[in-house]
Amino acid sequence: MISETIDGIVLRCIEETTCADDMQKINVIKVKYLGKNGEITSVLKSIKDATPEERPKIGKLVNDAREKVELALSKRENEIKEQIKKDKLISESLDVTLSKKRTETGGLNPLSIIKNDILDIFIGMGFEVKDGPEIEFEYYNFTALNIPKDHPSRNSSDTFYISDDLLLRTQTSAVQVHVMKTQKPPIRIVCPGKVYRPDDDATHSPMFQQIEGLVIDKRVTLSDLKSILDEFAKSFFSASTKVRFRPSHFPFTEPSVEVDLSCNKCGGAGCNLCKRTGWIELLGAGVVHPNVLIECGLDPNEYKGIAFGIGVERAAMIKFGVHDMRLLFDNDIRILKQFR
C-alpha cells in the first residue's frame, strides 16, 4: 500500500531529522527526502501510474507527508541555530572582572623631580620663576656680574665660547641681570636652567642645571638670606636640617657665603656622604655687590639684594645618595625607575 510506504518514509525522515546535529546534515536530509529525486518526490512521480480515483488520494498523502517532514525539519533547524548561538555566547564571553595586563608608564627624570621640588618650595615663599637664554652674551654672564676681565672663569678652559662675545652661559646668575634691567623692584625670582662648562667626571658634567635665586628690595639683608635658605633646607631635606654659612668669594656678591647643610644621612654625626664632617656643601650665595646693582640701573643706596645659586645635580645626588652624577644622565631605566 502506498500510504504505508509514505508513512515509513516520513518516520525515517523524522528520525534522521531528530538525530541531525548540524545544518549540513539537515540539508542532506532535505535533499534526500524533498529534493528533485527525493524519496517523497518520487512517490509523487508514481502518480502517473495510478488510476484517476487514486490520484487525488496519493496527492493528499504526499502533501501531508511533505508538511510533516518540513515541520520536523524547520523545528530541528531552529533548535540547531539556537544551539549555535548559545555555543557562540559561551565561547566569546568576556570576564570583565579579570584585571588587565599592566602597562609600563613613564616618569620624570630624577633631576626634573628635584628641580620641580626646589622650585615648588620657593614658589611657596612667593618667588616667581624666570627663564633666560642658554646662549648668552659675555656681558650678561660675566661683565655685568662684576667678573673682572682677567678672571680665570672667563678662560676658554672654563667656558664654551661661540664667538668673542657670545658663549654658552656658565651660570644662571646671568638671568639676574636680564631681570634687574627690565623689572622694577621688589624682585623675588628663581631662575632654573641649563648651564655649560668644560668639565666631565663623576661629580661634574659639561651640561648641568642650576637654580638662581634673587631678591631685590629696599631692606633685605644677609639674615633674610639665612632664613630663606633655612626654610628651603628644612622643606627640601627634613625639619631637623641645619644651615651653616662659611665665608667665601664671588665677584657678584659681597659678602659671599658658601652654604652647608647638616648631613641628611648621618644627621651631623659624620659618615661617608659628608666625608666625616657632618656638613654638606650645597650652594653659593651672598649679598648682591653694589657694582652689579649699579650696572643694572639700581641705586645701591636705595636697594639691596640677596642671591643664591643651587646646583640641581648636586642637590639630587645629596638627596638620593648618588655618588656618580653620570648615573642621572645615562637614561638607564633600571636606575631611573628607583627614583619615582
Residues forming the site for ligand DAH (CB under 6 A): 171, 173, 212, 250, 253, 284-286, 307-309
120: cell is: 615648588
Question: Any idea of the CA torsion for 231, 235, 238, 243, to the nearest 10 degrees?
Answer: -30
Return d(Cα 186, Cα 199) in angstroms, integer. Answer: 36
C-alpha of 110 from chain center: 13
Rounded least distance, CB 340 to ligand DAH, Å: 29
Nearer to ligand DAH, 10 or 307 (CB): 307
Nearer to ligand DAH, 73 or 285 (CB): 285
Match 634691567 to its residue by C-alpha cell: 181
Question: In this chain, which residue has its C-beta nearest to ligand DAH?
Answer: 309
Nearer to ligand DAH, 236 or 308 (CB): 308
Rounded least distance, CB 270 to ligand DAH, Å: 26
Q: What is the CA radius of gyration of the chain?
A: 45
Rounded least distance, CB 195 to ligand DAH, Å: 7
Rounded least distance, CB 183 to ligand DAH, Å: 17
Return d(Cα 82, Cα 88) in angstroms, integer. Answer: 10
Rounded least distance, CB 213 to ligand DAH, Å: 7
Nearer to ligand DAH, 29 or 288 (CB): 288
Return d(Cα 287, Cα 42) in angstroms, integer. Answer: 117
Cβ-contact 141, 160 below 8 angstroms: no
Nearer to ligand DAH, 107 or 148 (CB): 148
Rounded least distance, CB 299 to ligand DAH, Å: 20
314: cell is: 648636586
Return d(Cα 251, Cα 253) in angstroms, integer. Answer: 6
Question: Any idea of the CA torsion for 159, 160, 166, 171, to the nearest 10 degrees?
Answer: -50
2: cell is: 502506498
Nearer to ligand DAH, 33 or 196 (CB): 196
